[in-house]
């Protein structure tokens, strides 16, 4: 057992606290990856993923790896050397997409936006050109920015036949997602973000159009492990490809069922309400939203600029000592911001209230908890 292990509350933008039902499922006795019970459970996962992604006709599956493998599998399978790929980059994960696409031989062009700002759909229209794929991050975890996916998708669908590849790691599962309606061809997430399952599987959804593009490849995909053909062998034909992490499938299945039972609209409301209450508590104490435009704020990652004089490293170290994990900035925002997670089980008042009480103590502030509770009861009254 790790020292002080069981006491740490994760208020981070992933991994998120495990859902109770995922914890129980994780401890179920082991079964073989080709056992009929596991294959039937896989079919339930596939059906639930089609609901979560809003993609009744997509092929859905779990990749054996984290969200980054979901990202990599999209480029490995859907890009061939020399393809023109437009990547929208306004943070760390958009930059990771551009790097991966380049490693699979794509001719990468990028559209950028300044840190803390959303991608401008007009810029996408201007640079679309003859792109074979457009790739973007829906919610940038590194800055707390929500990119205008519906507007971007409309432009891509109306003006090109490019495949649309979307990183949905911070959004899908924590609110309704309309993959089919928006014409998205490939989307992925990681189990440890909005679903609050353990890290290690990446739920993906692949449109019929994307599968047709894959089937028309001139060369085999260079990434054998996540070859879409191999995925179909296991998930559709029920033949062996590789040993899937069966216990992580159990946990993901339980967490996904719990999410759909709660309802995607209810989950979106929960993230919004807790986020609003945290902001209401902290703003009068000098914390300000890092993303200036309200419409561009990601509901699942609250990025806050720290009040002048607050010692980022020291305060977070003390929070850690008192059992709470908070994430700072990344790259050029290190030391300047905190990124508070509101994905899955982290969007809970009973986790944020003690955090605010501790901050009252550490910062010599008053009324953080009082403002938090007042804002929450306002939200509940409005619902």
DSSP state of 364: T
Closer to ligand PLP by CB, 199 or 349: give it.
199
Classify strands 186-188 and 201-206 as parallel, antiparallel or unpaired: antiparallel
Q: Name which position in 190, 198, 275, 289 contacts ligand PLP (CB under 6 A).
A: 190
Subset of 199-238 contacting ligand PLP (CB under 6 A): 199
Tell whether 96 is in a known binding site.
no
Q: Name which position in 141, 333, 358, 379 contacts ligand PLP (CB under 6 A).
A: 141
Would you give the binding string for ligand PLP spanning residues 27-66, x where CB under 6 A is met? ---------------------------------------x
Q: Name which position in 9, 12, 14, 182 contacts ligand PLP (CB under 6 A).
A: 14
137 contributes a contact to ligand PLP by CB under 6 A? yes
196 contributes a contact to ligand PLP by CB under 6 A? no
Give the whole-angstrom CA distance, residue 130 versus residue 96: 22
Residue nearest to ligand PLP (CB): 67
Q: Name which position in 53, 59, 75, 93 contacts ligand PLP (CB under 6 A).
A: 93
Residue 382, number of CB atoms within 10 A of its CB: 7
Kindly tell me the burial class for residue 373, based on how many C-beta atoms sit within 10 Å of its own C-beta (0-12, 13-18, 19 or more).
Answer: middle
333 contributes a contact to ligand PLP by CB under 6 A? no
CB of 341 to ligand PLP, least distance (A): 10
Residues 6+ apart with CB under 8 A from 106: 75, 79, 81, 82, 83, 84, 85, 133
Closer to ligand PLP by CB, 204 or 359: give it.
204
DSSP state of 297: B
Provide the H-helix boundaries in 225-311: 228-235, 246-262, 264-282
Tell me which residue of 346, 254, 364 sits closest to 8, measured CA to CA.
346
**DSSP characters for 54-114?**
T-TTSEEEEEES-HHHHHHHHHHHH--TT-EEEEEESSHHHHHHHHHHHHTT-EEEEEE--
Closer to ligand PLP by CB, 117 or 233: give it.
117
CB of 93 to ligand PLP, least distance (A): 4
Q: Name which position in 8, 31, 68, 127 contacts ligand PLP (CB under 6 A).
A: 68
Q: Could you list the residues known to form a binding site, using ranges.
A: 339
- Contact set with ligand PLP (CB under 6 A): 14, 66-68, 71, 93, 137, 141, 167, 169-170, 190, 193, 199
């Amino acid at each position: 057992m790790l020292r002080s292990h069981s006491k740490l509350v994760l208020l981070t933008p992933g991994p998120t606290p495990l859902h109770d039902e995922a914890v129980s499922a994780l401890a179920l006795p082991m079964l073989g990856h080709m056992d009929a019970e596991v294959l039937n459970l896989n079919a339930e996962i596939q059906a639930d993923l089609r609901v979560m992604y809003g993609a009744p006709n997509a092929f859905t599956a779990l990749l054996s790896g984290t969200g980054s493998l979901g990202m990599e599998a999209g480029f490995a399978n859907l890009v061939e050397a020399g393809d023109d790929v437009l990547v929208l980059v306004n943070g760390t994960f958009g930059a990771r997409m551009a790097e991966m696409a380049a490693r699979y031989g794509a001719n990468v062009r990028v559209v950028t936006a300044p840190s803390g700002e959303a991608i401008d759909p007009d810029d996408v229209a201007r640079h679309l050109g003859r792109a074979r794929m457009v790739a973007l991050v829906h919610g940038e975890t590194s800055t707390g920015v929500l990119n205008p996916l519906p507007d971007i998708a409309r432009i891509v669908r109306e003006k090109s036949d490019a495949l649309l590849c979307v990183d949905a790691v911070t959004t899908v599962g924590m609110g309704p997602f309309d993959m089919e309606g928006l014409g998205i061809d490939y989307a992925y997430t990681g189990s440890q973000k909005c679903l609050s399952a353990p890290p290690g599987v990446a739920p993906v959804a692949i449109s019929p159009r994307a599968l047709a593009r894959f089937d028309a490849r001139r060369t085999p995909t260079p990434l054998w492990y996540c070859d879409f053909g191999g995925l179909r062998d296991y998930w559709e034909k029920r033949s062996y490809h590789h040993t899937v992490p069966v216990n992580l499938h159990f946990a993901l299945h339980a967490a996904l069922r719990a999410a759909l039972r709660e309802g995607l609209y209810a989950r979106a409301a929960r993230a919004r309400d807790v986020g609003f209450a945290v902001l209401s508590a902290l703003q009068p104490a000098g914390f300000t939203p890092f993303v200036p435009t309200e419409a561009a704020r990601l509901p699942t990652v609250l990025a806050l600029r720290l009040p002048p004089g607050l010692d980022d490293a020291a305060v977070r170290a003390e929070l850690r000592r008192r059992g709470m994990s908070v994430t700072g900035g990344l790259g050029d925002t290190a030391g300047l911001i905190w990124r508070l997670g509101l994905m899955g089980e982290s969007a809970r008042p009973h986790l944020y209230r003690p955090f605010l009480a501790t901050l009252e103590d550490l910062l010599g502030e008053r009324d953080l908890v009082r403002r938090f509770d007042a804002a929450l009861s306002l939200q509940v009254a409005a619902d």
